């Protein structure tokens, strides 16, 4: 290939790129801001928690019951050499269990000195919500859940309560575990 033909080739390539650029949609028109979190089920309530609030998701491990505690304290489990306290969040919130044990998952919360496992009915993985579908004043039917939630996202004809684990672990009622 001579220098002239190489130059001509680049000119033709540039011309084709400029012709095709007008057919592309404007990036500004296509951007939809979204928020992502971990979706899960508590009784019949769909919830979502921020990704940085959840350290990991586990299948429900075998646990050792603790004597003299409320029924929602499931016990402790050994997870990679660490004792993980397990709390059945559905029962703590006064909800009826809707799933079988094999579907249940544990959301591990690790904030500072707090290391805790919240047993939920099911986990749906990462969920994405358009930010304009968030409503701070969204009504949550379960009053106890509403205490630990802050608004909700509307998506696929469902309200996903925005669950705030920090509000739960900062609540003194949560630490009253003696039966």
Q: What is the mean pLDDT of residues 52-80?
A: 95
Tell me how crowded residue 59 is: count the other CB atoms within 10 A of its CB: 11
Which tops the pLDDT comparison, 29 or 42? 42
User: How many whole angstroms separate alpha carbon 57 and alpha carbon 126?
Assistant: 11
Beta-strand (E) ranges in 43-155?
A: 45-50, 56-59, 73-79, 82-88, 105-111, 114-120, 122-130, 134-135, 149-155
Phi, psi (deg, nearest 5) at residue 85: -65, 135
What is the predicted pLDDT for the residue at 5? 82
Q: pLDDT grade, residue 45 (50/70/90)?
A: very high
Looking at every residue in the chain, the average pLDDT score rounds to 88
Q: pLDDT grade, residue 20 (50/70/90)?
A: low
pLDDT above 70: percentage of residues in the chain: 91
**Contact indicator for 132, 77 with CB cutoff of 8 Å:** no
User: How many whole angstroms separate alpha carbon 49 and alpha carbon 10?
Assistant: 51
Which tops the pLDDT comparison, 93 or 26? 93
Q: pLDDT grade, residue 167 (50/70/90)?
A: very high
Asked whether the predicted pLDDT for residue 29 surpasses 70, the reply is no
The CATH code belonging to domain 32-175 is 2.40.50.180
What is the predicted pLDDT for the residue at 36? 95
Q: What is the mean pLDDT of residues 46-73?
A: 95
Asked whether the predicted pLDDT for residue 155 surpasses 60, the reply is yes
Q: What is the mean pLDDT of residues 98-110?
A: 88
Q: What is the mean pLDDT of residues 37-44?
A: 94
What is the predicted pLDDT for the residue at 26? 61
Asked whether the predicted pLDDT for residue 1 surpasses 60, the reply is no
What is the predicted pLDDT for the residue at 6? 84
**Is pTM, for the whole model, over 0.85?**
no
């Amino acid at each position: 290939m001579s220098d002239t033909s190489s130059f001509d080739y680049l000119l033709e390539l540039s011309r084709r790129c400029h012709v095709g650029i007008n057919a592309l949609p404007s990036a500004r028109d296509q951007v939809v801001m979204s928020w992502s979190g971990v979706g899960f089920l508590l009784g019949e309530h769909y919830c979502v928690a921020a990704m940085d609030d959840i350290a990991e998701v586990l299948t429900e491990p075998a646990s050792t019951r603790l004597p003299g505690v409320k029924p929602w304290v499931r016990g402790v489990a050994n997870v990679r050499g660490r004792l993980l306290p397990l709390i059945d969040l559905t029962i703590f919130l006064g909800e009826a269990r809707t799933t079988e044990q094999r579907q249940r998952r544990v959301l591990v919360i690790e904030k500072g000195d707090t290391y805790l496992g919240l047993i939920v009915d099911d986990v749906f993985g990462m969920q994405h919500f358009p930010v304009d579908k968030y409503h701070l004043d969204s009504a949550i039917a379960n009053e106890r859940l509403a205490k630990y939630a802050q608004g909700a996202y509307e998506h696929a004809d469902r309200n996903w309560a925005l669950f705030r684990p920090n509000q739960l672990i900062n609540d003194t009622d949560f630490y009253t575990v003696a039966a």
